[in-house]
């Protein structure tokens, strides 16, 4: 199974201020190609997608959403404090490993972006981890 770091997500109350900081200080650029891929009837929150170079890991800046578990029915909230996201080519293997190790996970499925199948879980210190697989 192949696994790569896909993005880090910071949740904030001021998306533009946070994004502008990373653009001005680190020279990141807006990645505008998400466009029509957003699934806004499930999650329509404002997100800025930043990257240093095309094909490199991304930084997602999203509005913090403390009530997300109530609207989605999932117990893991990836937009409260943020999360790290990994991309895999076999999400079923990760789900099997989580079950084998008795680690609960929230299976969001295709939720925020078309073609992205997402699961979320906590590491031992409570940090949120996302694992996604994309349709090819």
Rounded Cα–Cα distance for residues 121 and 78 (Å)? 9
pLDDT mean by block of 10 residues, the chain; 136 residues: 90 90 85 58 70 84 88 87 92 95 94 90 88 88
Residue 99 pLDDT: 96
Residue 108 pLDDT: 94
Residue 36 pLDDT: 56
Those residues whose C-beta lies under 8 Å from the C-beta of residue 10, and which sit 6 or more positions away, are 18, 59, 60, 61, 62, 82
Beta bridge partners of 87: 4, 132
Residue 37 pLDDT: 56
Residue 107 pLDDT: 97
Residue 120 pLDDT: 95
Residue 45 pLDDT: 65
Residue 39 pLDDT: 46
Residue 28 pLDDT: 87
Residue 136 pLDDT: 64
Q: Which domains does the chain have, with CATH numbers?
A: 3-134 (3.10.180.10)
């Amino acid at each position: 199974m192949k696994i790569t770091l896909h993005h880090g997500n910071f949740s904030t109350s001021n998306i533009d201020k946070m994004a502008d900081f990373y653009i001005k200080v680190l020279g990141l650029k807006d990645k505008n190609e998400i466009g029509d891929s957003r699934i806004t009837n499930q999650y329509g929150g404002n997100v800025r997608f930043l990257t240093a170079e095309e094909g490199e890991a991304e930084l997602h800046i999203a509005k913090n959403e403390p009530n997300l578990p109530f609207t989605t029915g999932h117990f893991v909230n990836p937009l409260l404090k943020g999360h790290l996201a990994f991309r895999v080519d076999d999400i079923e293997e990760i789900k099997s490993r989580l079950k084998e190790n008795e680690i609960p996970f929230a299976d969001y499925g295709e939720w925020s972006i078309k073609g992205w199948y997402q699961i979320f879980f906590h590491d031992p210190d409570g940090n949120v981890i996302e694992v996604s697989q994309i349709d090819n």
